[in-house]
Amino acid sequence: MLAVCDLFITFANEFDKTERNYIIIHLYNKMKFVKVLLGSLLVTTSLPMMAQMDASIKLNEVMTTNQTSLIDEYGARHAWVEIANISHSTYNIRGMYITTDRSVLNQKMSVPERVKRMSQIPNGDVRTDLSGRQLVVFQLGSSPAQGSLHLSVPVDATQPTWIALYNGNATQLIDSITVPVLAANQSYARIANNGTAADWEVKSADRVTPGIENQTTVSESKVEKFKREDPHGFGMAVMAMGIVFFCLALLWITFTLFGILMRHMETAKKVANKQPIKPITKTVEKTIEVGRKTGIMLREGFDTKGIDKEVYMAVIGLALRQYEDDIHDVESGVITIKSKDTEWDDEYTQMTQFHSPILPTMHSAPSIPTTPKMK
């Protein structure tokens, strides 16, 4: 750093006083511009983070008529509101505002006028530094002088109450809810975080949970439940004996049924060896045929004698065809034999293979007899 300063001084000595002043002013303006730019970037990047943190703070439960519920450190009962940090990060809600005056929704209202109609969460109390999933309860309609958790927010239990939570600048609405008219010691509690009216429900006096999560579940293992319901172990002994006897009874039933089955199989084998079962295929076929004919007779009358009409039609068609082709036998039983010359005794055709004589082409050629010589 000293070397840089020496270099800057050496460089500045090369100029006269007027030039040095001009250079210094120019550098100062440049540094000022850089500071403004860095500050703007810091504010711009931090705003979404702050908005996201503010969105993690929710109104969680409200009671407008407190007669037998929460008591403050002075023994008094007030209407109260519960605020919850639904995230898993720590967030301090000091400086935020709570109000029940709807007039603050007017965007034209000035900030000082809006602050007059709100009650600010004071600083200096560690209970306002909410860790992840932590809750804090504020007394409403009280005096801030009684403690940091006492706010002067007015509550009219005879009418629906609109209650809202604003951030530290009193302009950004973080969360709000309209509480219906509740009976004494009833509360209006959040059961979900979907951003709709269905996220809230009216809780009876025995279900009000100030400072505790609204949806509470008690986890108890089966072993712990059994110990609680059977501290002396009689139930365990009865259960163990019951399981043993049940298994023995199951084994007895299984072996008894198996023995009966084996005896029946042995008896069936002996009967099959002594008297083989005759085939009943023909009887079954005959029964089926009789049943078929009976069905035809019942359907088409007794004149058919159990024969299908298709059979009748086939027989008639065949008879007509034979009649047309003159195939039907109408002879008197006399056999007529018609003679036919087969030339079976013709010597000429039997003894030679030539049908006409072969004449010699030369005088010296031997003669070829056409018939055998007769001695």
Provide the token pair at 201: 């429900």
pTM exceeding the 0.75 threshold for the entire prediction: no
Stretches where the chain sits below pLDDT 50 are: 1-5, 7-8, 11, 15, 43-52, 216-218, 328, 375
Contact (Cβ atoms closer than 8 angstroms) between residue 131 and residue 85: yes
* pLDDT given for residue 133 in this prediction: 86
- pLDDT tens, position by position, 116-173: 999 999 988 899 999 888 999 999 999 998 999 999 999 999 999 999 999 999 999 9
* pLDDT given for residue 2 in this prediction: 45
* pLDDT given for residue 225 in this prediction: 75
Name the β-bridge partners of 58: 84
- pLDDT tens, position by position, 40-86: 555 444 444 444 456 789 999 999 999 998 999 999 999 999 999 98
Residue with tokens 């530290």: 168
Strands, DSSP E only, in the chain?
A: 57-63, 79-85, 91-92, 97-99, 119-120, 129-130, 135-140, 161-166, 173-179, 187-190, 200-203
- Distance between CA atoms of residues 236 and 230, nearest Å: 8
Contact (Cβ atoms closer than 8 angstroms) between residue 60 and residue 189: yes
* pLDDT given for residue 56 in this prediction: 84
Which ranges of 191-233 does DSSP label H, i.e. alpha helix? 222-229
* pLDDT given for residue 185 in this prediction: 93
* pLDDT given for residue 4 in this prediction: 46
* DSSP symbol at 356: S
* pLDDT given for residue 62 in this prediction: 95
**Domain spans in the chain, listed from the N-terminal domain onward:** 1-35, 55-207, 218-274, 281-324
* pLDDT given for residue 374 in this prediction: 53
- Distance between CA atoms of residues 78 and 69, nearest Å: 9
* pLDDT given for residue 43 in this prediction: 47
- Distance between CA atoms of residues 1 and 198, nearest Å: 64
Sign, CA dihedral 349-354-359-362, equals negative
* pLDDT given for residue 313 in this prediction: 74
Domain range 55-207, CATH architecture: Sandwich (2.60)
